[in-house]
Amino acid sequence: SVEDEQEFIRLAALEKLTDQESITKVAEDDADPAVRKVAIAKLFKQETLASIVINDTVLVNRQTALALITNQTSIAVIAAEADDSALRLTAIGKLTNQTALASAATDDDTPANRVAALAKLTDQKAITQVASGDEEIFIRCLAIKKLTDKKVLREFVQDDAEDSQIRRAAREQLTKLKQ
């Protein structure tokens, strides 16, 4: 039985289980992380997997669940809400939704995650927002190098209050676009 005290008996019982509700109970509630991991690998309900990524206490189980998620809505929730920056980064890598990527590029508290989201962004309005507002100059410069709107770039070049690195990046991007 999956409720037996012995881990090996619970694992053997789990191998035979096909009912997603029972597997979910084991994945969420079993005391042994190894048993939970085996159960997680048998799950396919995206919301359940996302809940495990957010709530499980064992990183490898969270990673296992995240690897199985394909639903963009679930991935976006993880990219925004996971407490572990590496999990958020993995989720950002799986994102294709431009709105969710824009949120990650502007809101994630880890610079590497904002850079990863920016790299996948194609929405010029969102890229402009990063270029205008990120707290890290190097991220703003990376965003400017993705801009294609010459008017916006000229505004960066002409803004005397703007950091010299930002103005230079905008000038370089304008020159590149003229070629």
pLDDT in tens, 29-85: 999 999 999 999 999 999 999 999 999 999 999 999 999 999 999 999 999 999 999
Q: Is 133's pLDDT higher than 90?
A: yes
Of 171, 163, 174, 109, which Cα lies nearest the Cα of 140? 163
Structure tokens at 27: 């994945």
Q: What is the pLDDT of residues 75-116, one digit of tens each?
A: 999 999 999 999 999 999 999 999 999 999 999 999 999 999
Of 86, 25, 31, nearest in space to 53 by CA: 86
Q: Is the pTM of this model over 0.85?
A: yes
> Which residue, 76, 138, 83, is CA-closest to 103?
76
- What's the pLDDT score for residue 160? 80
Q: Is the dihedral of CA 105, 111, 117, 120 positive or negative?
A: positive
Cβ atoms of 133 and 147 within 8 Å: the answer is: no
Query: What pLDDT does residue 179 have?
Result: 81
Task: Kindly indicate the confidence band of residue 117, based on its pLDDT and cuts at 50, 70 and 90.
Answer: very high
Q: What is the pLDDT at residue 175?
A: 96
| pLDDT value of position 2 | 83
